[in-house]
Amino acid sequence: MTFDQTAESHRRQRMRIIAVANQKGGVGKTTVTMQLGAALSRLHRVLVVDVDRQQSTVWWAENVRDRLPFDFAGNQSPKALAGLRELRIDYDYVLVDTPGNLEDTPALETVLDAADYVLVPFTPEPLAVDPTLRTIHRLIEPRHLRYAVVLNRIDPRIPDQADTWRVLFDTEFGHPRFEHYLRQYKALADAPILGHLVTNLRDNRRTRGVIADATQVAAELVEQLTPAHSGRW
C-alpha cells in the first residue's frame, strides 16, 4: 500500500456513522440529530443524513437556510449509507436521523447495518420504556453495536426526574446511558419552524440551557467515540 493509500484508509476509518434511533415515536430523534449535529460542527466535520420518510430534518434545514453549519443529505435511501465509506468524502461524524415507526423497520435495520454507534433518545415517560427496550434488544444488541441512551425532555421543574431515570437505566434495565441529558425547553420545541440550531441561537437567559445541554451531550459523544475511551476503535 502506498503512503497515500494508507493515509486515505486511516482517514476513512476515523469517520463515525452514528444512527439516532428509537422505534418509539416522538422521543427526540430529529431534535437530537439536528442539535448535536450543530454542536459537533463547531469542532468537527459533520454530515447529517435523513432516511426518514417524514423528512422532518429536510423541513427544518429549509428553515435554517444558509445558516446550516453542517453538510446535509435529506431524503436518502438507507442503502446509500453503506456506500458512504467508499466515497472520497471527509467527515468526522455522520449523524443519521431514522424513522420512529414499526413499518419502517427495514430502513432502520439497513442504517444500523452501516452504523458504528447508536444514540437512543428517550423521553421520561413509562410508555416509552417498552418500545425503547425492544429497539435495543431486537435491533441494536444483536448487531453488537455500541450504543447509549440519552435522556431528552427532562423537566427542570420536576426534582429528581433525571436521577430517577438514570437509576432505572443503570439498575433495572441495565443499559448504557449518557451522563448528560437534554432538558425540555420551549426554544427546542420551536426550533424546527424557526430554523434554530444551537449554533444560530442568540445566547440569552432563555437559550443558555439549550446550548449548554447540547454542547455537553455532544462532548460526551465525542468522548465515547475516542479510541482511548473505548479501547475498541
Ligand X SMILES: Nc1ncnc2c1ncn2[C@@H]1O[C@H](COP(=O)(O)OP(=O)(O)OP(=O)(O)O)[C@@H](O)[C@H]1O
Contact residues: ligand X, CB under 6 A:
25-31, 52, 54, 56, 100, 152-153, 182, 184-185, 188-189, 192
46 φψ region: left (φ > 0), alpha (ψ -120 to 50), beta (else): beta
User: Whose Cβ is closer to ligand X: residue 65's or residue 186's?
Assistant: 186
Piece of 48-56, 65-73, 139-147, 215-223 that binds Mg ion (CB under 5 A):
48-56
Applying CB under 5 A, among 23, 56, 184, 215 the residue interacting with Mg ion is: 56
Q: Does 123 bind Mg ion (CB under 5 A)?
A: no
What does R_g of the chain's alpha carbons equal in angstroms?
Answer: 17
User: Whose Cβ is closer to Mg ion: residue 58's or residue 187's?
Assistant: 58
Grid cell locating 201: 441561537
- Contact partner, 25, from ligand X, Mg ion, none, Cβ < 5-8 Å per class: ligand X
Residue span 62-101 as binding mask against Mg ion, x where in contact by CB under 5 A, dash where not = ----------------------------------------
Measured CA to CA, the distance from residue 151 to residue 18 in angstroms comes to 17
Q: Does 199 bind Mg ion (CB under 5 A)?
A: no
CA distances from 93 to 15, 24, 71 (A): 6, 24, 11
Measured CA to CA, the distance from residue 54 to residue 66 in angstroms comes to 22
Q: How many helices (H) and strands (E) does the chain have?
A: 10, 6
Applying CB under 5 A, among 18, 20, 22, 30 the residue interacting with Mg ion is: 30
Q: Does 35 bind Mg ion (CB under 5 A)?
A: no
CB of 194 to ligand X, least distance (A): 11
- Contact partner, 132, from ligand X, Mg ion, none, Cβ < 5-8 Å per class: none
Grid cell locating 212: 449548554
Q: Which residues contact 189 (CB under 8 A, 6 or more apart)?
A: none
The secondary element (H helix, E strand) that includes residue 6 is helix 3-14
The secondary element (H helix, E strand) that includes residue 219 is helix 208-224
Applying CB under 5 A, among 29, 153, 166, 196 the residue interacting with Mg ion is: 29
User: Whose Cβ is closer to Mg ion: residue 56's or residue 224's?
Assistant: 56
- Contact partner, 26, from Mg ion, ligand X, none, Cβ < 5-8 Å per class: ligand X
Residue by residue, DSSP assigns 91-110 as -SEEEEE---SGGGHHHHHH
